[in-house]
Amino acid sequence: MSETVAFIVHGGRQDAMEAARETASRLEESGLSVGVVVFTDGAEDQASLELAALSPSLIVSLGGDGTFLRAAKRAHELDVPILGVNFGRVGYLLDVPPTELDGVIRRALEGHVVVEERLGLAISVREGPLVHETIFAVNEVSVEKTVPGHVVRLAAGIDGEPFMHFSADGVLIASPMGSTAYNLSAGGPVLSPDLDGFVMTPVAPHFVIDRSVVLSGDQVVSLDVVGERPAVCVVDGVSIATLTPGDRVECRREPRRLHVVTLAEPGLGRRLRESLRQGHE
């Protein structure tokens, strides 16, 4: 049976759409089965069904970091490797130039590339008596204020024990891969991608410790909304729930890793240097 490559592109990126079609045509001529799935805002469920129907051996994300995050969630659900192609400006997640795409895809299918096992987060949200289905986070989960000009009050716990009350714009929990995203902007530390753990960072805390806490992969963090004001739970930049006092978000290590294809295995110093430089260009 021929292996199947699935391209995921955002409907608003014409350059990515053209690259997907052109590359798909060349790969099909060489005997591969190829599908192009277009993600548009408000129609992601349908795109997910189309992707699952392809039963891909490899998922290729073409776009910016947002497209990669959407595609990575689907790759994790299907337990297949994902290759990110950089059409965005800030590209820590994405390290494959479009001009090298054909060859890299063939190398990936032949097993001649590095596939990194990246740790993600398992997020559980409890709204009153309702417990939502566990959500996979690639980068981070945050619990944030909803009222401009006011802080939200959150009670953080670690492994079932009370840790600290925060009055802040929010508190975020980031994976090692996500530590260079929102976490870094909030003043949190960068974690090595190979680290078995995650980091909790307060966002603009008021009269309380403003340092991050790095936790091991075996630990569980809870964030309870306390006080009178509501909060919003955001996973990888997408709001998933509005929380009221008494609601809780729990975060733990996701047992199954995300398989990310890379061209090579550069050292952490090079990765950070390139990522941080790109973020300021």
Name the CA radius of gyration of the chain, rounded. 20
Which residue type does 213 have? V
- Separation in Å, CA 65 to CA 10, 88, 94: 11, 7, 7
| Residue pair 216/196 in contact by the 8 Å Cβ criterion | yes
User: Which residue bears the tokens 């994405």?
Assistant: 94
Distance separating alpha carbons of residues 124 and 103, to the nearest angstrom = 40
| Residue 45 is a catalytic residue | no
Pick the closest to residue 149 from 80, 229, 93 (CA basis). 229
DSSP 220-243: -EEEEEESS--EEEEETTEEEEEE
Q: Residues 15, 45, 65, 218: which is the catalytic one?
A: 65
- Torsion sign across C-alpha atoms 75, 93, 2, 36: positive
Residue environment code for 145-164, b if the CB has 16+ CB neighbours within 10 A, otherwise e: beeeeebbbbbbbeeeeeeb
Residues in CB range of 224: below 8 A, 6 or more apart: 154, 155, 156, 157, 246, 247, 248
- Which segments of the chain does DSSP mark as H helices, in order? 14-29, 44-54, 65-78, 101-109, 182-185, 268-278
Which residue type does 252 have? R
Residues in CB range of 44: below 8 A, 6 or more apart: 70
Active-site residue list: 65
